């Protein structure tokens, strides 16, 4: 099916080959591969997205791995472009330094450091900082701005070089990196080598139970190779001489966790939340096939309900478009078979305007179209942001337009039920 991916045959965490398909997801192109008009004749290959689970450790993962050079070398998103992330990371840096009583001058390393926004806040607190990020242009700009960044992928060999040049790290952070990397074993080996005896490794990842409970299956796309939970993590870190000693739930990306890891003899007691979350995962059957069979059934029901509504409206001559041009939208459009049901996509990100969506090449236009040349129906594909999108465009409803919200449950919003927003 694809020349852009390879298939691994063993679990990313424990190495077992005892893997089973638990959630079939339709193949799609690389989710953020929006193209200009000059590339419309170039076919964009599809790559599988099926979700597998390891029967031995319980880790959920995609086995089809897209070449990371295609995904990350020319990465364009920068942390500093998001006011929300700037505020989040400023508080993050202060809280971590205070909580773990990290002394001024200590080495702090961030994996996937992007433009160095988080590290800048640590530097402002008197820390020695170092970033590692494979997006060469962004990494080089970060270095020029004063945040030394190594433009490469982190692994155990790079870890040794950093250790010999900089010494051990009191803190290593990785935000939304553990979901993206294929060779998690070697990366974690590198972290264990580089971490000081009393150091802390902090990571953030989407949480598998939230993906199920909050219907965010559209966060399954090619940049995300792993969908994490506590049970596999406990075993995985232990195998590398590390201990997961604390976890916090955070609201980002539809539901995430922030994990805190130390060396096995790091001295910090395991927080009760670890056993509590393990019990919840066990009670819910999170590492069994049953919960995913039901999940797949519920997804299919929502897909069919949405398609029935859209096809009926199109048969009446209505123009139907989508709102959203993000990575999650690509998964949703392909899995829900919407690629030939929409005329175009609307998005508020100016960088996407004038581009065409991955694979099916729907044009992306600004939201001003809702005032200047409105369609009849807008399907809010970026459904997690449905409320602010509808609030911003209430005049579209007032003029007789319809909004459709596909998830977590199908809603059709008109001026008659505008109060439901």
Model pLDDT, residue 83: 53
Does 66 have pLDDT greater than 70? yes
Reported as a single tens digit per residue, the pLDDT across 342-388 is 999 999 989 899 999 999 999 999 999 999 999 999 999 999 999 99
User: pLDDT-derived band of residue 420, with 50, 70 and 90 as boundaries?
Assistant: low
Model pLDDT, residue 112: 93
Reported as a single tens digit per residue, the pLDDT across 331-343 is 999 999 999 999 9
Across the range 68-95, mean pLDDT stands at 68
Model pLDDT, residue 356: 97
Q: Where do the H-state alpha helices sit in 224-288?
A: 230-239, 272-284
**Interatomic CA distance for residues 203 and 257, integer angstroms:** 8
**Interatomic CA distance for residues 278 and 77, integer angstroms:** 35
Across the range 187-196, mean pLDDT stands at 98
Q: What residues contact 336, with CB distance under 8 A and at least 6 apart?
A: 303, 306, 307, 406
Model pLDDT, residue 334: 98
Length of the chain: 421
Across the range 256-282, mean pLDDT stands at 96
What spatial distance separates the first Cα and last Cα of the chain, rounded to whole Å?
A: 41
CATH for 290-420, among 3.60.20.10, 1.20.200.10, 3.40.50.720, 3.40.50.300? 3.40.50.720
Model pLDDT, residue 317: 97
Q: Shortest CA distance to 262 belongs to which of 204, 192, 205, 162?
A: 192
Reported as a single tens digit per residue, the pLDDT across 122-143 is 999 999 999 999 988 989 999 9
pLDDT-above-70 percentage for the chain: 95
Q: Shortest CA distance to 16 belongs to which of 45, 51, 59, 50?
A: 59
Model pLDDT, residue 250: 87
Model pLDDT, residue 63: 97
User: pLDDT-derived band of residue 49, with 50, 70 and 90 as boundaries?
Assistant: very high
pTM attached to this predicted model: 0.92
Alpha carbon 196 to chain centroid distance?
29
Does 1 have pLDDT greater than 50? no
Across the range 193-207, mean pLDDT stands at 97
Preceding omega of 170 cis (within 30 degrees of 0): no
Query: Which residues make beta-bridge pairs with 226?
Result: 61
- Cβ count near 276 (within 10 Å): 12
Does 86 have pLDDT greater than 80? no
Model pLDDT, residue 84: 58
Reported as a single tens digit per residue, the pLDDT across 299-325 is 999 999 999 999 999 999 999 999 999
Domain range list for the chain: 1-66+208-287, 290-420
Does 72 have pLDDT greater than 90? no
Model pLDDT, residue 292: 98
Model pLDDT, residue 416: 85
Mean pLDDT (the chain, rounded): 93
Does 294 have pLDDT greater than 50? yes
Which among 68-72, 78-82, 275-279 has the top mean pLDDT? 275-279
């Amino acid at each position: 099916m694809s020349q852009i991916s390879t298939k691994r045959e063993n679990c990313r965490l424990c190495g077992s080959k005892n893997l089973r398909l638990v959630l079939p997801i339709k193949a799609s192109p690389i989710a953020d591969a929006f193209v200009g008009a000059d590339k419309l004749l170039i076919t964009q290959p599809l790559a599988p997205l099926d979700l597998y689970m390891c029967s031995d450790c319980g880790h959920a993962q995609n086995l089809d791995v897209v070449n990371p050079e295609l995904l990350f070398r020319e990465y364009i998103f920068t942390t500093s472009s998001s006011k929300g992330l700037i505020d989040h990371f400023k508080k993050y840096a202060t809280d971590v330094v205070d909580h773990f009583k990290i002394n001024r001058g200590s080495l702090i390393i961030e994996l996937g450091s992007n433009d160095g926004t988080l590290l800048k806040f640590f530097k402002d607190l008197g820390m020695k900082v170092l970033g590692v990020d494979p997006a060469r242009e962004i990494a080089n700009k970060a270095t020029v701005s004063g945040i030394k960044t190594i433009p490469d992928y982190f692994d155990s060999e790079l870890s040794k070089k950093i250790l010999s040049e900089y010494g051990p790290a009191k803190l290593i952070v990785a935000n939304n990196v553990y979901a993206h990397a294929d060779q998690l074993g070697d990366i974690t080996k590198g972290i264990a080598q580089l971490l000081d005896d009393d150091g802390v490794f902090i990571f953030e990842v989407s949480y598998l139970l939230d993906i199920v409970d909050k219907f965010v299956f559209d966060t399954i796309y090619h940049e995300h190779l792993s969908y994490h939970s506590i049970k596999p993590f406990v075993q995985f870190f232990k195998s590398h001489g590390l201990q997961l000693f604390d976890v916090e739930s955070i609201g980002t990306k539809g539901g995430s966790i922030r994990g805190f890891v130390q060396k096995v003899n790091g001295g910090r007691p395991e927080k009760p939340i670890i056993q509590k979350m393990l019990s919840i995962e066990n009670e819910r059957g999170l590492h069994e096939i049953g919960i995913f069979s039901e999940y797949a059934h519920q997804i299919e029901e929502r897909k069919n309900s949405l398609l029935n509504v859209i096809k009926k409206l199109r048969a009446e001559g209505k123009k139907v478009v989508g709102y959203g041009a993000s990575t999650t939208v690509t998964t949703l459009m392909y899995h829900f078979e919407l690629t030939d049901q929409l005329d175009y996509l609307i998005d508020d990100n100016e960088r996407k305007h004038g581009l065409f969506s991955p694979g099916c090449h729907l044009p992306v236009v600004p939201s001003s179209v809702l005032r200047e040349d409105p369609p009849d129906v807008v399907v809010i594909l970026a459904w997690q942001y449905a409320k602010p999108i509808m609030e911003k465009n209430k005049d579209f409803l007032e003029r007789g337009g319809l909004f459709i919200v596909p998830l977590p449950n199908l809603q059709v919003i008109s001026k008659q039920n505008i109060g439901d927003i």
